[in-house]
């Protein structure tokens, strides 16, 4: 057997898959306790999940010790990355931006319907009972707590709705994986660098050279030390702490107050990850962030002080996401056309080594799309509304995945400005029937932040396996098992923990009740009561944002010297970049000076320090959560890594 074949055989193995599956229930319970119930940290908000990196590091260290004692039992690097990828895929599905939203929303529409909010008349008649939970006793016990999921009637009340949504979530993930299979080779051809992949690759280094590096050790100790110092400050307030989290600067005088709140943060891992990003892309990001702040300030001076009105900065950002998604399809048009010809048998098949055969990828993409359109039509959407909704969402998903692969920002966000908001503003709410507005609300878990979709994490996993020579086709089974496992263990952990603690009990300190349970239904109830007219300004801003993105693509393609990347325009006004502009700007300056005066050699000698900042803070952050759980501390989120 050739060396490359042995490497592939040691990536997707039964023992690696079994280890990943065994970790999924523990991961789900930890995630729900820390992120959903306590909100003492938010591991699935950033693009790189700190608990998964910490778990990979711990597995790598334990594996090295095992290798010294029983070399034949030790896992290969590819196997470790398979376990890591399973944890990431499952965590993303069960995390803050997907099933946690859905789970709360389908409970609260009946649990908190009152005569005052009139949901029973405005919303309930347009809902299919099988997609929400209606049992009064099961819902009352869920809010109150101090009971058990396994009490008679509880699981039966949830099973119909959870089954429907589990299938929908699986189809969404499967459709995106088919898309990932079609795009992977094209993005490798375009040399997208996947900067964030360097962190798990470093944590799983089989030789351990990085971990023994003095510069890495210095960065790790510095970052971990600050985390543990803040933990000590939370437990014993007399111990001084360091404010690393997000602090909002406000201005009371014109013209600065028109910029709005100016968040700043000093997370060590944000500096570390920013150092891995290409300098030209980082420059574009903070430049367009500054441009949007100036845009708001000038508009305020001119008398336009409505934050959601002219110059419609949020809508420009949404249009930029749509434009970047369309650019992604346009850039891959030749490759996609060739894969379609191969799938139809009009060209020789050239899909060996790809995650899925092109024929099956296209079949899965088409059937998945048809299923999702049909599902929303059954819920009450007209066909054209469903097609438009899913087309806009697809463009946003592609944009987010492309930004993750090309730029590698620590976090991406387009808060409540997704496909549903674009459609409502463009045509007005009276253009849509009540069941259509309510169906968009049921899909709030796909529209709330536009931050963590399945696609970018699937592509991230494929990149890692490709880097270590893993068999991508066998990895498809891993993705399927992790997806199913993430859905099942995620729903189970939420129910198991919620019935014990109670969503409105004193121990539930997270924002899910108002953010996931009440907010989406209050929004749609308000829209049904007081319709919103079409906004030509908002639609024009969407078009303008997409057009500027297209112009930047053309300029970037035709002129090598052009300094502004379209991805910077896409994320320039995102909530995530607003909180990351300080680490990005400072690190851009440091990295630029190192490359200018020290060259590539100095840069390579500096990289371990910044990787140490990331892995050190991630490891300390994970230990912090374990202490929180063991001692029942209920630590505040701003004392951890969360907040991005």
Cα gap 47→455, rounded to integer Å: 12
Q: CA angle at residue 264 from 48 to 54, to 5 degrees?
A: 25
Of the chain, the end-to-end C-alpha distance in Å amounts to: 47
**What does the domain layout of the chain look like in residue ranges?**
3-639
At residue 313, the pLDDT reads 93
Q: For residue 423, what are its two tokens? A: 């459609």
Higher pLDDT, 246 or 338: 338
Provide the pLDDT confidence category of residue 6 given band limits of 50, 70 and 90. very low
**CA Rg, the chain, in Å?**
24
- Helix %, strand %, coil % for the chain, to 5? 70, 0, 30
Contact of 186 with 332, CB cutoff 8 Å: yes
State mean pLDDT over 289-303: 92
Contact of 313 with 304, CB cutoff 8 Å: no
How far is CA 583 from its chain centroid?
20
Q: Strand (E) positions, 215-343? A: 247-249, 262-264
Contact of 23 with 487, CB cutoff 8 Å: no
Contact of 524 with 418, CB cutoff 8 Å: no
Task: Using the predicted structure, report yes or no on whether residue 3 has a pLDDT greater than 70.
Answer: no
At residue 359, the pLDDT reads 96
| Short-list 354, 26, 63, CA closest to 208 | 63
Provide the pLDDT confidence category of residue 247 given band limits of 50, 70 and 90. confident
At residue 643, the pLDDT reads 62
Cis (ω within 30 of 0) for the bond into 529?
no
Higher pLDDT, 372 or 260: 372
State mean pLDDT over 376-390: 98
pTM above 0.85, yes or no: yes
Chain mean pLDDT for the chain: 93
Q: For residue 615, what are its two tokens? A: 């892995």
Task: Using the predicted structure, report yes or no on whether residue 9 has a pLDDT greater than 60.
Answer: no
At residue 638, the pLDDT reads 65
For 409, phi then psi, to 5°, come to: -60, 145
At residue 1, the pLDDT reads 40
Q: For residue 279, what are its two tokens? A: 């300098």
pLDDT tens digits, one per residue of 391-436: 999 999 999 999 999 999 888 898 999 999 999 999 999 999 999 9
b vs e for 405-414, b when ≥16 Cβ sit within 10 Å of the residue's Cβ? bbbbbbbbbb
pLDDT tens digits, one per residue of 102-137: 999 999 999 999 999 999 999 999 999 899 999 999
At residue 610, the pLDDT reads 96
State mean pLDDT over 474-490: 97
Residue 263's SS3 state is strand
Task: Using the predicted structure, report yes or no on whether residue 5 has a pLDDT greater than 70.
Answer: no
Contact of 264 with 249, CB cutoff 8 Å: yes
């Amino acid at each position: 057997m050739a060396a490359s074949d042995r490497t592939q055989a040691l990536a997707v193995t039964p023992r690696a898959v079994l280890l990943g599956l065994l970790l999924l229930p523990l991961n789900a319970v930890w995630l729900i306790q820390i992120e959903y119930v306590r909100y003492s940290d938010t591991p699935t908000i950033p693009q790189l999940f700190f608990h998964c990196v910490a778990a990979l590091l711990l597995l790598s260290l334990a594996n090295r010790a095992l290798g010294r004692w029983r070399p034949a039992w030790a896992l290969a690097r590819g196997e470790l990355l398979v376990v890591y990828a399973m944890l990431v895929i499952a965590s993303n599905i069960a995390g803050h931006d997907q099933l946690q939203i859905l789970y709360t929303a389908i409970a609260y529409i009946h649990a908190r319907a009152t005569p005052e909010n009139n949901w029973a008349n405005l919303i309930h008649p347009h809902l299919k009972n099988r997609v929400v939970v209606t049992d009064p006793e099961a819902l009352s016990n869920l809010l109150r707590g101090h009971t058990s999921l396994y009490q008679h009637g509880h699981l039966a009340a949830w099973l119909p709705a959870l089954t429907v949504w589990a299938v929908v979530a699986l189809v969404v993930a499967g459709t995106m994986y088919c898309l990932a299979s079609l795009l992977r080779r094209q993005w490798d051809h375009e040399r997208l660098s996947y900067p964030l992949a360097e962190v798990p690759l470093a944590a799983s280094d089989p030789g351990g050279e990085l971990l023994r590096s003095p510069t890495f050790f210095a960065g790790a100790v510095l970052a971990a030390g600050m985390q543990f110092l803040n933990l000590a400050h939370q437990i014993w307030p007399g111990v001084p702490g360091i404010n690393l989290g997000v602090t909002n600067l406000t201005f009371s005088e014109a013209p600065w107050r028109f910029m709005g709140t100016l968040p700043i943060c000093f997370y060590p891992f944000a500096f570390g990850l920013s150092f891995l990003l290409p300098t030209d892309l980082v420059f574009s990001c903070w430049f367009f962030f500054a441009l949007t702040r100036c845009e708001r300030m000038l508009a305020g001076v001119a008398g336009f002080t409505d934050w959601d009105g002219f110059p419609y900065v949020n809508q420009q950002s949404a249009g930029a996401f749509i434009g970047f998604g369309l650019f992604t399809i346009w850039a891959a048009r030749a490759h996609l056309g060739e894969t379609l010809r191969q799938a139809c048998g009009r060209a020789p098949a050239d899909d060996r080594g790809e995650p899925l055969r092109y024929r099956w990828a296209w079949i899965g993409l088409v059937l998945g799309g048809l299923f999702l359109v049909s599902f929303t039509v059954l819920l009450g959407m007209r066909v054209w509304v469903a097609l438009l909704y899913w087309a806009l969402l697809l463009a946003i998903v592609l944009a987010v995945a492309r930004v993750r692969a090309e730029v590698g920002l620590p976090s991406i966000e387009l808060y409540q400005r997704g496909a549903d908001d674009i459609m409502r503003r463009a045509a007005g709410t009276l253009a849509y029937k009540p069941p259509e507005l309510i169906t968009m609300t049921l899909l709030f878990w796909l529209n709330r932040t536009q931050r963590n979709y399945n696609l970018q994490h699937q592509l991230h996993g494929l990149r890692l396996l490709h880097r270590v020579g893993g068999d991508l086709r066998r990895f498809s089974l891993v993705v399927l098992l992790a997806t199913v496992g993430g859905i099942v263990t995620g729903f189970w952990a939420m129910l198991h923990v919620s019935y014990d603690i109670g969503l409105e009990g004193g121990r539930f300190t997270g924002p899910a009740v108002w953010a996931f349970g009440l907010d989406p239904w209050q929004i749609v109830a308000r829209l049904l009561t007081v319709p919103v007219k079409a906004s030509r300004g908002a639609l024009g801003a969407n078009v303008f944002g997409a057009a500027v993105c297209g112009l930047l693509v053309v300029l970037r393609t035709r002129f090598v010297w052009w300094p502004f990347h379209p991805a910077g325009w896409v994320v320039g006004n995102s909530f995530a970049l607003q909180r990351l502009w300080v680490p990005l700007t400072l690190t851009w300056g440091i990295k630029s000076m190192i490359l200018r005066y020290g060259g590539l050699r100095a840069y390579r000698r500096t990289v371990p320090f910044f990787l140490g900042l990331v892995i050190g803070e991630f490891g300390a952050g994970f230990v912090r959560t374990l202490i929180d759980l063991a001692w029942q501390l209920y630590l505040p989120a701003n004392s951890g890594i969360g907040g991005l």
